[in-house]
């Protein structure tokens, strides 16, 4: 199968939003959906049907399944993002999931990354790449799992050199745009505080009762 050149071009956030089926959500560099099934056998059947569609399209998602669920991740590695191949297959997956009686669970979708404040990322990057077993694979300013196992991404945020101890690691919790407010409200109800919403809806900065910070992030307003 020959894929038209325009189907291999990376889509903007606006183009993705226009083409995205209701079951899927746009998270950094990929489309994701999670389906609840009646049992493990039903999850296997749905995964097999998604595999058949992927073979026909010659475009293969990452699948994770367990008792009563299937999670689907779609991206175009050659474009380093989402293309029309991904949105087209997402629509097919959405249709077949409905036929199998699987129920989408967008609220369960998230990606977690760790940001490290550093004034010398080139010095620390090899350590984190080796520690996490990622081999030589990395992108500019970060190390990420090349195997598809879902290991955490560690990215490096520039900061001034300092000796005074302070929090330098913080988690970035990426959630679907329409789930951000729910997640923030839950964190605040659990004793957290809102530190900043200056960059919302791209991200909000929150802190736990001891002042340790974390970010809730979405793909919104990122160009």
Q: What is the pLDDT of residues 108-153, one digit of tens each?
A: 999 999 999 998 888 888 888 887 888 776 667 888 888 767 788 8
| Number of structural domains in the chain | 2
Same domain, 76 and 132: no
Spatial CA neighbour of 150 closest among 71, 44, 66: 71
Residue-wise pLDDT for 40-68, tens only, equals: 999 999 999 999 999 999 999 999 999 99
Residue 214's beta-bridge partner residues?
206
For the record, the structure tokens of 132 come out as: 């996490």
Same domain, 210 and 125: yes
pTM: 0.85
What CATH number has the domain bearing residue 158? 3.10.180.10
CB 129, CB 143: distance < 8 Å: yes
What CATH number has the domain bearing residue 85? 3.30.1360.20
* Rg of the chain, C-alpha, whole Å: 19
State which of 46, 79, 108 marks the end of a domain.
108
223 within some domain? no
Same domain, 118 and 190: yes
222 within some domain? no
206 within some domain? yes
């Amino acid at each position: 199968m020959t894929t038209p050149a325009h189907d291999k071009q990376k889509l903007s956030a606006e183009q993705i939003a226009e083409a995205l089926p209701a079951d899927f959500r746009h998270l950094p560099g990929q489309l994701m959906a999670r389906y609840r099934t009646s049992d493990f056998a039903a999850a296997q059947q749905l995964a097999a049907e998604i595999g058949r569609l992927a073979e026909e399209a010659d475009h293969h998602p990452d699948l994770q399944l367990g008792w009563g669920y299937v999670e689907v991740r779609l991206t175009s590695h050659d474009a380093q993002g989402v293309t029309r191949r991904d949105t087209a297959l997402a629509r097919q997956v959405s249709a077949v999931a409905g036929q199998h009686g699987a129920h989408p669970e967008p609220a369960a979708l998230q990606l977690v990354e760790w940001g490290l404040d550093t004034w010398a990322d080139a010095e620390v990057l090899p350590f984190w790449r080796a520690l996490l077993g990622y081999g030589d694979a990395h992108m500019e300013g970060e190390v990420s799992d090349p195997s598809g196992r879902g290991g955490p991404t560690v990215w490096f945020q520039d900061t001034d050199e300092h000796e005074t101890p302070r929090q330098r690691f913080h988690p970035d919790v990426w959630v679907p745009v329409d789930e951000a407010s729910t997640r923030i409200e839950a964190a605040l109800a659990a004793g957290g505080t809102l530190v900043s919403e200056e960059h919302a809806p791209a991200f909000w900065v929150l802190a736990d009762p001891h002042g340790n910070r974390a970010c809730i992030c979405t793909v919104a307003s990122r160009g």
